[in-house]
Chain A
């Protein structure tokens, strides 16, 4: 992700000068211009409209939103659960990517296929099915509906593919020679993992983690039936935004949305910084 980009940029420039220089050619500058126009029309301007609407009442909108205890509870729940699920994904996603790339067993291809299902399932369907399996009528007797665990479950479902799919190609591209060279120089497995494999995949893990977090904080459809949206307990931010819109309070809805944008941006940037530190050290 960004990190990988940045580490190359310091290598290329080689001087640690703040990178304001541009190596764009005419063709690529035009391409950038077109891409930015589309990006603005699609993302930047609509998001600016949200921020503008949030500011309709000046700072009041933000202050009122943050001081509303029910909203604050929703923010805590959403951000907390998203961080938790991202953490789970870092571990499980890397494990799964490892198993997919470096292991061989019957059924591996099937598992590979299944991992992308969360992308393919409309979120309401995911919610319905998860509710059937892990709700009151669970065949295993595991009922998490209307609890916080249900939020974790739903978010884990929708974010499963992210880290797996960003780490997998990088792991696959890793060349065996470097590891073999290290082994022949006497490095043990742990050292090889730590100093050769890990730094190569950390940027990919961070990229996937950013996507996983971003996806988790925005989730709505699968939470609807599974979590019960109980205020102060299992009510997610996306539901709270909908409540504001339904109540005609667009300003609070936009304020809450803007706050979440800020949170997402902060985490994305933090992961970016983390990546660069690890890449530099490794």
Chain B
């Protein structure tokens, strides 16, 4: 009996060995060869990048290039690259995740000196609600009404959640008669109405789609994709909200084809494909039908009052320190004071 088991085990090992070794070869071989590009991106890009990569491979610059991809939460991906995960291009949710790679010496500090300041795709913070918008949510002020159940990822752990909170802050700080104290008050009320604070944007979306809460603070592109996938949701673009800017950077030891790929992503063709996936283009003149948008032929309505991190918060460095520092950050303190009790 034991002999037979040992035999089975040895056979399994024998079969597994070539596979494991090929696994070794595949991963370690991808450290920088000229016709292989390794893209590390944030989770939702998986579906968005597939058509972009295929289209690039039909161009002259891209025709012999094979791609390796890895998708996950932006912060996780940034840390993985800093920990040695090979990447030719990183396309992440927010600028600080690229900055940490600059600090680690993996991305050159001139990475954002191009025509779009390093940004590859845009979106805006929106409210994802149940189909038909039963609570009639229209603006940020509706979110702090008693009994409204809000879901947002936790800004302490989700880089992407920071967009949500900064948007809320900007709304209250810049409303007529608004100031920082009112903003603090507003965000506190918002967080008191929050029933779930998962660690990532994807988890928050999953929680909302499973039926929790009345409104999710979400990205427009996620919301468009959710609608396109047939989920029973609607999304509201408030009159004032924050611009979400997703940066992309080429790493220091990247293959030359990486720059060609980035150029393609920033081209009309590339940006049109990203628009179809729900991202707002970063160049002008993109017009396309976007399935899932509130109005597919006018998918990205202009937001009357659009805040940006640079303009309204003095840039990410300042915003991160002021709001999210784990000891002195304003938002950190609000969350620490949230002791709900039972």
Chain A residues within CB distance 8 Å of chain B: 68-70, 73, 128, 131-132, 135-137, 145-146, 224-225, 228-233, 235, 239, 242-249, 252
- How many of chain B's residues touch chain A, expressed as a range? 20 to 34
Residues of chain B within 8 A (CB-CB) of A249 are 326
Whether A242 touches B210, Cβ cut-off 8 Å, given contacts A231-B338, A252-B326, is no
Which of chain B's residues 186-201 have a Cβ closer than 8 Å to chain A? 194-199
* Contact across chains for B212 and A146 when beta carbons are under 8 A apart: yes
**Interface membership of B339, Cβ < 8 A:** yes
Q: Is the CB of B198 within 8 A of A245?
A: no
| Residues of chain B lying within 8 A (CB to CB) of residue A243 | 154, 156-157, 199
Interface bits B284-325 vs A (CB < 8 Å: 1, else 0): 000000000000000000000000000000000000000010
Bound-complex Cα distance A67 to B76 (A): 27
- Which A residues lie within 8 Å of B115 (CB)? none
Residue B340 is within 8 A (CB to CB) of chain A in the complex: yes
Q: Can you list 30 A-B contacts (CB < 8 A)?
A: A131-B207, A132-B210, A135-B212, A136-B210, A136-B212, A145-B207, A146-B196, A225-B203, A225-B206, A228-B207, A229-B197, A229-B199, A230-B194, A230-B196, A230-B197, A230-B340, A231-B154, A231-B197, A232-B338, A232-B340, A232-B341, A243-B157, A244-B326, A245-B79, A246-B75, A246-B156, A246-B199, A247-B156, A247-B326, A249-B326
Q: Check A224 against B195 for contact (C-beta < 8 Å).
A: no
Q: A135-B211, A145-B212, A229-B199 are in contact. List 9 more A-B contacts (CB 8 A).
A: A68-B336, A128-B206, A135-B212, A145-B211, A146-B212, A228-B207, A242-B199, A246-B75, A246-B199
Contact of A128 among B159, B210, B339 (CB under 8 A): B210
Residue pairs across A and B with CB atoms within 8 Å: the count is 87
Residue of B nearest to A223 (CB): B198
Query: Which residues of the partner chain B approach A246 to less than 8 Å between Cβ atoms?
Result: 75, 156-159, 199
Task: Tell me the chain B residues, 153-206 only, with Cβ under 8 Å from chain A.
Answer: 154, 156-159, 194-199, 203, 206
How near does chain A come to B149, taking the closest CB pair, in angstroms?
9
Complex CA distance for A238 and B212, rounded to whole angstroms:
22
- Interface set of B (CB-CB < 8 Å, partner A): 75, 79, 100, 151, 154, 156-159, 194-199, 203, 206-207, 210-212, 324, 326, 335-336, 338-342
Residues of A close to B154: CB separation below 8 A: 229, 231, 243
Question: Could you tell me if A225 and B198 are in contact, using CB atoms closer than 8 angstroms?
Answer: yes
CA distance A246 to B158 in the complex (A): 7
> Would you call the interface of chain B mostly helix, strand, loop, or mixed?
loop
How far, in angstroms, from A230 to B196 measured CA to CA in the complex?
Answer: 5
From A69, A73, A229, B196 is in contact (CB under 8 Å) with A229
Closest to A248 in B: B100
Docked pose: A69 CA to B197 CA in angstroms: 17
Contact B195 A228 (CB under 8 A): yes
How close is B37's CB to chain A, nearest CB, in angstroms? 27
Chain A contacts for B211, CB-based, 8 A: 135-137, 145
7 closest Cβ pairs, A-B complex: A136-B211, A228-B196, A243-B157, A246-B157, A137-B211, A243-B156, A131-B210
- Contacting residue for B195 out of A132, A137, A146, CB 8 A: A146
